[in-house]
Amino acid sequence: MADVVHPVHGEVHRHPAPTNFIRKYIFSTDHKVIGIQYWCLALFAVFVGMALSLLMRLQLGWPGQEWGFLKTLFPNAAENGTISGELYLSLLTMHGTIMVFFVLTTAPQGGFGNYFLPIQIGADDMAFPVLNMLSFWITFVALVVLLSAFFVTDANMINVIGPIGGWTGYAPLSALGERAGPGQGTGVLLWITSIALFCVASLLGALNFITTMLNMRARGLSLMRLPLTCWAWFTTAILALLSFPVLLAAGILLLLDHLAGTSFFIPGGEYVSGQLVKEHAGGSPILWQHLFWFFGHPEVYIAILPGMGLTSHLLSTFSRKPVFGYRAMVYALFAIGLLGFFVWGHHMFISGMSPYSAIAFSLVTLTIGVPSAIKTFNWLGTLWGGQIRFTTPMLFAIGFVSLFVSGGITGLFLGQTSIDIPLHDTYFVVGHFHLIMGVAAIFGMFAGTYFWFPKMFGKMMNEGLGKIHFIITFIGVNAIFIPFHVMGMAGAPRRYASHGNLEYARSVMPLSRFISWVAFVTIAGQLIFLVNLIWSWIKGPKASANPWEATSLEWTIPSPPPHDNFAGILPDVHRGPYEFSVPGASTDYLMQTDPESAEEHGH
Amino acid sequence: MPSTLTTDIGIKPGVGGGEFGSGDGGKFGSGPSDSKDWPPGWSSEDAAEPEKYRIGMWVALASILMLFVALTSAYIVRGVPALGGGPDDWLPIDMPSVLWLNTAVLLASSVTIELARRALKKNEYERFKSWISLTTLLGLAFLGGQLMAWRQLAAQGVFINSHPHSSFFYLLTSLHGLHLLGGVIALGFVTVAAFRMRIGFKRRAAVQVTAIYWHFMDGLWIYLFGLLFFFR
C-alpha cells in the first residue's frame, strides 16, 4: 500500500492542528470536532425531548393525577402538580420541535455526515471549514433560543413553557399572538426565530456537503465507488438545500404576520378566545400548510435517508457480502428524494383540497413505495446467505429494516385519501411517523454510534450492554408505537391531553396506561446506552484501526484519526466499498485502497 | 516537485477556469486526469480551490432561488387577480417611478462587472480596477434607489401592513436588497484588494464567483420587478 500513495505537492501536514483549547475544541474548523459537537448537541437534545415525552406519558396514563415534583418543576404552569391542557400542548410542541430539528436532522447528517463524509471520500476536511463551524454554532444558538421558550412568561406573568401549536405551527393560531393561547406570543416568536436560524445553519451545511462530495473525492474514487452512506448524505443535503429555504420563507411570512401587522396567513373575521380579530384580513391559513409541508415532507427523508445509507453499509459489512444491487440502491435513494418533493399534499387531504389534487398526491405518495420496496428487498438480499455477525451495530441496522417496514406499511394506509379521512389526526398518524421518522431514524443513529464510536473515540463500546440496550429498545418501541395504531383505529385523537373524558375513546385508557409503563421502561433502557457511552469512553478497551474488518476509507487510518485525517497523504482508491468474500482473495474483505483489486479487475 | 501531481479538475491556472458545467472530463474529480503543466509552486490543490468556490456558489444560488420560488407561490396563492387567485382585498400599489432608474442601474452594473471580469482575465489591471469600482458604486446606487422607492411609497401612506401587495413589495424588495448588500460587500472586498494589488489566484476566483452572484441578483431583480408590477 505504501508504494502507491502519492504525496500532495510535497507538503505532509497541510493543516497543522491548532494548539489552543478554544480553537481546538470550541471554535474548531476540523470537521471531526464539528461532527462530535453536532453529535453531542443531538445527544443532549434527545434526552431533553425524551424527558418531555416522559411527562406527557405521565399525563396520558393517569390524566389529572397530581405529581408533587411538577409543582417544583413548573411552579406556575402546574401549580397543583397536575398537567394542564396548555402545559401538555407546550410539552408536545417542544418535544416535536426538539426531536425533529435538533435530533433527527442534526445527528445523522450534521454529526455522522460531518465526521465521516470527508474521510470516506478521502479528503482532509470539508470544502469550507469555516462555514462548517458557523453552521454548527448557528444550530447551537437555534437550540438555545428554542429552549429559552421554556422560561417565557405571559402578560399575567404566568409561566408557560413555550408555544402550544405543535411542531407544525399551523396558522392562523400561530400567527395571532397571545390571544391564541399562552405561549403563542413570545413563545412562538422564539420558536420561529429558532427555526429560521436552524434553516440558515442547515443551508450552510448542505452547501458544504454537496461541494465537498462533488469536488474533493480522492483519486480513483468514482461516484459508483462511493459508500452508500456518502450517497445518502449527498441526497439528504440536496433535499435540505431545496426544502429549508421554503420553510425559511414561511417563517419570514409568519414573523411578519406577528410583528409587522401583515396578513399572509390570517383570514378575516377570526374569532379567537372570545375576541374578534379586526386588524387582519384576507390571509390564507392553507398557504402556511402548503409551504410548511413542502418543507415538511422532504424533512422526513432528511431524517431517515442517512439511516438508510448506514443500514445498507452495515448489512453488507456484517453479512460479509457485497451490497445487493448497489446501483439500484443509489437510484432508489434519489427516487425517494425526488418523489419526496411532490407528495406534500398528503398531509393536507382534509384541508379542503380538490379531490383531484388529492388523488394526484395520493398516487405519487404510493409510488414512493416502489423505491422503498427496492431498498427493503435489497437489504434482505444482502442478508440472504451471508455469514452474519450479530454485533450491536448490526442488530440496530436489522432493527432499522424492521421499523422501516412497519412504519412504511402504515404509510400506505395514510397515503390513500379515503382511508386517511377517518385516520387523520388520530394516534394512527402519531404511531406511523414515530415508527418511521422517529424510531427508525434513531435506530440509524444508534447503529452509527455503536459502529463508529471506536473510530471517533478510539475505544470499543461494550457489546453486552449494547445488546441489552438493543433488546429493550426494540421491544419497547414496538410495544409503544404499535398500540398507537390500535388507539388511532379506535378513534383516539392526537394532541388531546386526556382521552378519559371522551365517551367513545375512554376504552383506550388501559392501553394508554400500558404504553406509559412501557415508555418508562424503554426510557430507563436508554440510561444503559448512556452508561455504556461514558464507561467506554473512559475505560473501554482500545480500538484498533479496523475493528469491524470493514472496507471503507475511515478504517485505513488510526482510531481516532489524526487532525488532517490522512496525515497529508491522500489515499488512492482502487475498488468499491463492498468487496466482501471476493473469491480468491486472501482475506474475506478488500479495503478500498487495496491495490490487489486493480489487478483482479484486469483478469 | 514530485512528478506524480495530478489534478481532478480540468482548468488551467491563471485563466480562472472553464465555466462550471462546460463538460470538461473529470470535472467533478471522478477520476485522475493527468497533470496540466502547473507553474512552479502551484499544485492541483490551488486549482481545486477556485473550482470549489464556483460549485459552492451555484449550490448556494439554488437555495436562494428556492426561497424566492416559495415566496412567489405565496404571492400567487395570496391572491393575484391576474393569476386567478385569492380574496378580493388585492389593491395594487402604484409603481414608484424610481424603480425604472434602479433597474437600469442594476443592468448597467451587470455589464460593468462582466467588463471587469474580462479585463482581469486579460490581466488588464487598470481597467479591472475601474470597472470593479464602478460596479460597486452602481450596486450602492441601486440600494440607495430602493430606499428612495420605499420613501416614495411611505410618503403616499403605503406601508408593509397596508394591504397584501404592499406587504409583498416591501418583503421581496428587502430580501433582494439584503442579498444584494451581501454582493456589494463582496465587491467592496475585491475592490480594496484590487487597489492594494493583491489579486492572486484565489481572489481571481472571488471575482468570478462574485460575478456569477451579481448576475443572478440582477436577473432576480428583473424577475421580481416583473412579478410585482406586471402580474398584479
More confident residue, B197 or A89: A89
Nearest to A203 among B63, B70, B164 (CB): B63
Residue A324 in contact with partner chain B when CB distance is under 8 A: no
CB contact under 8 A, B160 and A261: yes
CB contact under 8 A, A249 and B74: yes
Nearest to B161 among A261, A291, A294 (CB): A261
More confident residue, A104 or A570: A104
Please report the pLDDT score of residue A135 as a whole number: 96
- At A158, the pLDDT band (50, 70, 90 cuts) reads low
How many CA atoms lie less than 13 Å away from A515 in the CB half-sphere?
A: 26
Residue B67 in contact with partner chain A when CB distance is under 8 A: yes
Share of chain A above pLDDT 70, in %: 95
CB atoms within 10 A of CB A255: 18
| Chain A residue whose CA is closest to B10 | A215
User: Taking CB atoms and an 8 Å cutoff, what residues of chain A touch B43?
Assistant: 8-9
Looking up cell 398500540 gives: A483
Say how far apart CA B228 and CA B232 lie, in whole Å.
6
Please report the pLDDT score of residue A9 as a whole number: 39
Closest CA to A555 of A589, A600, A598, A586: A589
Nearest to A264 among B30, B43, B78 (CB): B78
Q: Average of pLDDT values for B53-63?
A: 95
Q: Average of pLDDT values for A575-603?
A: 79
User: Taking CB atoms and an 8 Å cutoff, what residues of chain A touch B29?
Assistant: 214-217, 221
Q: What is the ipTM of this complex?
A: 0.92
Residue B32 in contact with partner chain A when CB distance is under 8 A: yes
Residue B44 in contact with partner chain A when CB distance is under 8 A: yes
Q: Could you say which residues from 126 to 185 on chain B have a Cβ atom under 8 Å away from some Cβ of chain A?
A: 160-161, 164, 167, 171, 175
More confident residue, A279 or A408: A408
Please report the pLDDT score of residue B49 as a whole number: 66
Residue A570 in contact with partner chain B when CB distance is under 8 A: no
Pairing verdict, β A271-272 and A275-276: antiparallel
Comparing A263-272, A331-340, B214-223, the range with the smallest average pLDDT is A263-272
- At A586, the pLDDT band (50, 70, 90 cuts) reads confident
Say how far apart CA B217 and CA B221 lie, in whole Å.
6
Q: Average of pLDDT values for B218-222?
A: 97
More confident residue, B91 or A481: A481
Please report the pLDDT score of residue B37 as a whole number: 45
For the stretch A476-486, pLDDT in tens is: 999 999 999 99
Q: How near does any CA of chain A get to the CA of B47, in Å?
A: 11
Say how far apart CA B197 and CA A391 lie, in whole Å.
60
Say how far apart CA A160 and CA A150 lie, in whole Å.
7
For the stretch A282-294, pLDDT in tens is: 888 999 999 999 9
The three-class DSSP label of residue B48 is: helix
CB contact under 8 A, B28 and A290: no
Closest CA to A28 of A183, A135, A163: A135
Nearest to A246 among B44, B70, B175 (CB): B70
Q: Could you say which residues from 91 to 130 on chain B have a Cβ atom under 8 Å away from some Cβ of chain A?
A: none
More confident residue, A73 or A490: A490
CB contact under 8 A, B167 and A264: yes
**Helices and strands (DSSP H and E) totals, chain A:** 19, 2
Say how far apart CA B214 and CA B230 lie, in whole Å.
24
Residue B224 in contact with partner chain A when CB distance is under 8 A: no
Nearest to A223 among B9, B30, B64 (CB): B30
pLDDT surpasses 80 at B45: no
For the stretch A495-547, pLDDT in tens is: 999 887 888 888 899 999 999 999 999 999 999 999 999 999 999 999 999 99
Mutate to test the interface with A, among B27, B51, B52, B77 (most CBs of A within 10 A): B52
